[in-house]
Chain A
Amino acid sequence: MSATFRSIAPRPAPVSTEGFVPWARANLFGNWPSAVTTLLLLGMFFWYLPGMLNWMVLKAVFVPNIQQCQAARDTGACWGVIAEKYRLIIFGRYPFDEQWRPEVATIALVALLMASCVRMFWRPWLALLWLLVMAFVFIMMHGGVAGLSVVETDRWGGLPLTVLVATLSIVLAFPLSVLVALGRRSKMPAIKTICTIYVELIRGVPLISVLFMASFMFPLFMPPGTSIDVLLRVLVGITLFSAAYLAEIVRGGLQAIPKGQQEAADTLGLSYWQAQRKIILPQALAIVVPGVMNSFIAIFKDTSLITIVSLYELTGSMGLALDSDSDWRPFKIEGYIFITAIYFVFCFSMSRYSLWIEKQLSTSKNR
């Protein structure tokens, strides 16, 4: 029996799984419905793209020229309104010639905030730095020393006010919230009840009613003859409001710490405060960082509400800047897009930082 050698047919090359085409095949055209969705979405995108591009860029007016803007009213955006009004939008009613002062103050504040985000700087001297920078910011904004003219708080406005109110209420609310959270877990019934009532009461009402209270009712609460600055009152309102939300987040962190930690601390003879400071809080606060960051973002966004009680922060100063000028008023939507972008940049970077720090703090557990 003779057999001739016959080689088997070569196997086909393995299907490539790398690169764009295989990725697109799996992720964009995986099956029929998916392919149809992809085509539909792409079709819509290319259908609307020219119009959007025309409005946003190609037919838009970038120079602060009212005639050109009015001519291009229905065809393109008028970014000239930003070029014309950006100082009013960003600084509100702050005296025009002195606007370098809030600028410097805000830069200092933002730089400090960024520095505080780096773990390397989490040292006791950072607290001292905070005090110094806060004093510097107040002096720059308010003036009255070193030849700076006095600018009362009702003239403060725009982005500096937004950043200032957000930062101050975050910084003040945080320690308060830790105390309230500890109080809610306290074994003393009176303390526990007080803290619980405070948290539930505040969380049950909208911020706007707390602001109304700060603005309309607070003057009634004070001894006759005293008057407290409206900015300070609003600041107290926002701080008390955010502290209640933060306290719930911190309490969540405290609950996640095993009971053995507290018991071990007691065994070592640590006092209540020593145990909290050295054992419980460092662990609990590390867990709640993402939640706290989310809360910070919420506070930053909530500062826009103080417009309603006549403090012209970014949202309010935008309205003020354009409402007072009948020529430019029709281009308010461009103004809104501008401040939306500002809010987005701040909030988005905070949420990215939150993701990053979460990863940093959980590395010890991942090993």
Chain B
Amino acid sequence: MTATAVPPKKRNWSLRSRAVRGVLYQIIALGLIALAVWFLAHNTLQNMRVRGIQSGFDFLDQPAGFDIGESLIPYDSMNPYWKAFLVGVLNTLRVSVIGIVLATVLGTLLGIGRFSHNALVRGLCYAYVEVFRNVPVLLHLLMWYLVLVSALPGPGEERSVFGLFFLSNGGVSYPVPVWGLGQALALAGLLVGVVLSWLWAKRARRLFELTGKPRLVLWPSLALLLAGALAGWLLGGAPTAWSIPKVGEFSVNGGSSLTPEFIAVLLGLVFYTTSYIAEVVRAGIASVARGQSEASAALGLSKGQQMRLVVLPQALRVIIPPMTNQFLNLTKNSSLAVAIGYPDLVSISNTALNQTGRAIECISIIMAVYLTTSLGTSLLMNLYNKHAAIKER
């Protein structure tokens, strides 16, 4: 046998070659997209010229001229548009973050409830999921809003609880401490407490792994948090001024309040998303082999310990990715607040759009903010997922 020299590979430039066709297809696809973008941009520019629409983001510096019902930062109608958008973003984040926390807690409880030994609990959790999942989230919001508006007492009929909490058509008012140096230092102390208790938890874990003796984590952490906050408060001169709501002529003044719009958006989103999270948790727990809980029962762990120490950590791997999706869905669904007038980002952009007529800019702002939050959240959750995933050697 003689070794034959391999002939040098010839480039085949015919259309029969898969590679050539691939390049051709891609060029065509890119060309079509470039053409479409050019067509749309050309039309848009022409339309703007014809209709005399101004463009650009310079309007952000002009005074907005509209009031916003609730805001986390001081705002009035003389403030520029960018500040109005900022208020909207903060309101969106506020309702989303609180909603995510509540929905996760409730959803996890309901998901675990599907495995209860009690048939009534099982049935109730199942019924909840089926009923709340199969109704549009917009309907949830509208119904909660309607119920709240008709249930809350009108002007002159405000109801108070201990003279500190008030129910009125403005929502639920509650006393808040007057913000000052003491409060700021208390918050800083609380943060220090968080860091310290995290360090303690790490140390406790290391000691446990070294010696096998469990150390208390929960109580020392709570004590550290409390001590931090208390130290900050005392350092700031221990201020005790509270802003207590009072019934005024037309509305309840002072203190802070949860508006009916906020409560409706929050409840609607939480009750809707809870049903999805319950399903995610149920699927996650079902994915853990039965032998795991049987083995831990054989070791003498209680039912709660089995769930907390053995089943849930393994279920987390399955749960985290779809749970991330639900968090993102909740954030995106909070945009429906526009339907009931909660001043979230979309509803403020909508107002700004109607006032200035700059559709492209306003809608781009909405999309940019949501894209950033979505990508940011998935980044964080991916990091956590990596932490929880099976560590393969």
Contacts and interface: CB of A to CB of B under 8 A. Distances in A.
Interface of A: 27-28, 30-31, 34, 37-38, 41-42, 187-191, 194, 201, 203-209, 212-213, 216-217, 219-224, 297, 301-302, 304-305, 307-308, 315, 319, 330, 332-333, 336, 339-340, 343-344, 347-348, 351
Interface stretch (B41-49, B66-74, B184-192): B41-49
A30 B120 CA distance: 12
A348 B133 CA distance: 9
A307 B363 contact: no
16 contacts: A27-B119, A42-B120, A190-B26, A204-B367, A204-B371, A204-B375, A205-B367, A209-B370, A212-B363, A213-B363, A216-B363, A220-B43, A301-B136, A304-B138, A308-B339, A330-B150
A210 to B, nearest CB: 9
B338 interface: yes
Nearest to A192: B26
Contact of B118 (A30, A205, A304, A347): A30
A344 B147 CA distance: 20
> Helix, strand, loop or mixed for chain A's interface?
helix
Interface residues of B, number: 53
Contact of A34 (B47, B118, B143, B350): B118
Contacts of B130: 348, 351
Nearest to A226: B43
B366 A212 contact: yes
A37 B138 contact: no
Contacts of B121: 37, 41
B134 A351 contact: yes
Nearest to B18: A272
Contact of A307 (B46, B133, B339): B339
A224 B46 contact: yes
A208 B138 CA distance: 11
A304 B136 contact: yes
Given A28-B119, A34-B117, A212-B363, A343 B139 contact: yes
Given A28-B120, A206-B370, A308-B339, A189 B136 contact: no
B44 A221 contact: yes
B328 to A, nearest CB: 8
A221 B46 CA distance: 9
B59 to A, nearest CB: 16
Contact of B338 (A28, A191, A208, A301): A208
A150 B350 CA distance: 33
Contacts of B370: 204-206, 209
A307 B134 contact: no
A119 B243 CA distance: 67
B311 interface: no
B325 to A, nearest CB: 9
Nearest to A344: B134
A224 B367 contact: no
B336 interface: yes
Residue from B26, B44, B46, B130 with most neighbouring chain A CB atoms (10 Å)? B26
B118 A37 contact: yes
B25 interface: yes
B333 A206 contact: yes
B374 interface: yes
A28 B143 contact: no
Enumerate the 3 nearest inter-chain pairs by beta-carbon distance, A residue then B residue, closest first.
A347-B134, A190-B26, A27-B119
Contacts of A304: 136, 138-139
B359 interface: yes
B142 A348 contact: no
Given A34-B118, A38-B120, A307-B339, A302 B359 contact: no
Interface in B323-366: 332-333, 335-336, 338-339, 346, 350, 353, 359-360, 363, 366
B207 interface: no
Given A191-B25, A191-B29, A301 B137 contact: yes
Contacts of A206: 332-333, 335, 346, 366, 370
A206 B142 CA distance: 18
B332 A205 contact: yes
B120 A188 contact: no
Contact of B134 (A189, A209, A297): A297
Contacts of A190: 26, 29-30
Contact of B33 (A194, A208, A297, A302): A194
Contact of A336 (B26, B133, B143, B338): B143
B359 A216 contact: yes
B166 to A, nearest CB: 23
Nearest to A219: B47
B118 A38 contact: yes
Contacts of B333: 206
A348 B335 contact: no
A216 B353 contact: yes
Contacts of A319: 142
Residue from B30, B43, B124, B150 with most neighbouring chain A CB atoms (10 Å)? B43
A251 B119 CA distance: 38
Nearest to A187: B22
B135 interface: yes
B47 A224 contact: yes
B40 interface: yes
B118 A209 contact: no
Contacts of A224: 43, 46-47, 50
B146 interface: yes
Residue from A191, A204, A304 with most neighbouring chain B CB atoms (10 Å)? A204
Residue from A194, A301, A348 with most neighbouring chain B CB atoms (10 Å)? A301
A5 B253 CA distance: 94
A198 to B, nearest CB: 10
A93 to B, nearest CB: 19
Contact of B147 (A41, A187, A220, A333): A333
